[in-house]
Amino acid sequence: VKAVAITLLWSGIGSAVLFFILDKTMGLRPSEDAEREGLDLSSHGERAYNY
């Protein structure tokens, strides 16, 4: 049980640090314009659904 708790704590802290670094350097979210337009169109130049 102790090893599981240590593993969860270690991976949780490591993930939080990585997410914080990524958020401050390159950002974790797309811009509002790209999100409004649709990520398939802004990232790949095509629509996923034609309706």
Domain-located, residue 51: no
**Cα dihedral value 14, 17, 22, 24, nearest 10:** 180
Domain count, the chain: 1
Determine contact, residues 44/35, Cβ cutoff 8 Å: no
Domain-located, residue 50: no
Domain-located, residue 49: no
pTM of the model: 0.61
Domain that holds residue 6: 2-44
Domain-located, residue 23: yes
Query: Residue 46 corresponds to which tokens in the numbers above?
Result: 């095509």
pLDDT tens profile 1-51 = 999 999 999 999 999 999 999 999 999 999 999 999 888 988 888 988 887
Which phi and psi angles does 42 have, rounded to 5°? -75, -30
Domain-located, residue 20: yes
Domain-located, residue 30: yes
Domain-located, residue 11: yes
